Each structure stands twice: as C-alpha cells, then as structure tokens.
Amino acid sequence: MSQKKTERESGPEVGAEAEPGFTVAMRELETILHRIEGDELDIDRLAEELKRATTLLELCRGKIRRAELEVTEIVQKLEQT
C-alpha cells in the first residue's frame, strides 16, 4: 500500500470547510475513543467530544451507504452486459 496520502485522506486545505474523508474521520473517531477510554478527556469537554464523535460517525455511515449503493449499481450494470 502506498504511503502517499491523497487529498481526501489528508483532509481539507487550511481554511477550507469541507467534510473530512472517511479515513480522516475514522482516525479522529479513534482518537476521541482512546481519550475517553484512557481517562485523558477532561470532563468539561466530554459532551463536546461526544457530539463531534456522533457527527463523524454519521458522516462515515453515510459514506459507507453511498459506497454500497454505488457498488450495487456497478454490479447490476455488469450483470446486464
């Protein structure tokens, strides 16, 4: 596997308000989870971090659903030819 990161994996450019790619979102989710599990998270930031984790989780689920639909469409087209 290539070590070179694509723009989607490395995240948005500075100042951009684009949603993160799947890989970046998953990494951030893992980071939040490790902070919560490892007692590294200040209780004052817990709700904020949980909201961010929820947003990232919804984003990842949406990307997976879109990918599944796209793959299904491709397979159906292949089966028709």
**Whole-structure pTM value:** 0.70
Between CA 75 and CA 8 the distance in angstroms is: 25
Helix axes 46-80, 22-37, angle to 10 degrees: 140
DSSP state of 1: -
- Distance (Å, rounded) from C-alpha 22 to C-alpha 18? 12
Token readout for 19 is: 């949603």
Q: Which amino acid is at 49?
A: E
Q: What is the mean pLDDT of residues 45-73?
A: 96
At 17 the pLDDT is 62
Q: How confident is the model at residue 70 (pLDDT cuts 50, 70, 90)?
A: very high
Burial class of residue 66 (count of CB atoms within 10 Å of its CB; 0-12, 13-18, 19+): exposed
The whole-number pLDDT of residue 63 equals: 97
Span 4-57, pLDDT tens digits? 444 444 444 444 468 899 999 999 999 999 988 887 778 889 999 999 999 999
